[in-house]
């Protein structure tokens, strides 16, 4: 799958998030990368200060970063439909971390 097509899938997944939630996202960038260098099997990663952890003095920080790892996702999928599904789950999972939702809660909700 080309990078362009994969980026389109990430954009499509972001478009499925309700507008009131995407409007609440603050100081965050979503990037597509090949793999995580430290954990090559990782599908996605949120790095930053979750909205629930920010204080009134929050400011001057670089944007939070959501990385979606194309090669890792392609490794675990056998067809295009699986890629679409896995991208959607991974994007929602990492965006949820931006909102302060932890791993256990995500797994309980089926977004693990």
According to the model, what pLDDT value does residue 81 have? 97
pLDDT tens-digit profile of 77-103? 999 999 999 999 999 999 999 989 888
Please write the tens of the pLDDT for every residue from 97-106.
998 988 888 8
Q: Where are the domains of the chain?
A: 3-51+61-109
pLDDT in tens, 36-65: 999 999 999 999 988 888 877 787 878 999
Q: What fold is seen in the domain 3-51+61-109?
A: Zincin-like (3.30.2010)
- Cβ atoms of residues 86 and 77 within 8 Å: yes
Q: Mapped to the 3 state alphabet, what secondary structure does the chain carry?
A: CCHHHHHHHHHHHHHCCCHHHHHHCCCEEEEEECCCCCCCCCCEEEECCCHHHCCCCCCCCCCEEEEEEHHHHHHHCCCHHHHHHHHHHHHHHHHHHHCCCCHHHHHHCCCC
Q: How distant, in Å, are the alpha carbons of 6, 31, 36, 72 from that of 44?
A: 14, 10, 8, 9
Do the beta carbons of residue 86 and residue 1 sit within 8 Å? no
**75 vs 63: CA distance, rounded Å:** 29
Q: How far apart are CA 103 and CA 112, in angstroms?
A: 7
């Amino acid at each position: 799958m080309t990078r362009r097509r994969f980026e389109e899938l990430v954009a499509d997944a972001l478009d499925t998030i309700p507008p009131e939630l995407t409007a609440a996202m603050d100081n965050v960038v979503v990037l597509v990368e090949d793999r995580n260098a430290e954990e090559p099997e990782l599908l996605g990663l949120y790095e930053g200060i979750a909205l629930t952890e920010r204080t009134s003095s929050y400011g001057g920080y670089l944007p939070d970063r959501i990385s979606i790892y194309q090669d890792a996702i392609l490794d675990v999928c056998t067809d295009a439909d699986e890629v679409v599904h896995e991208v959607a789950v991974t994007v929602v999972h990492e965006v949820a971390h931006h909102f302060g939702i932890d791993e256990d809660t995500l797994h309980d909700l089926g977004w693990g």
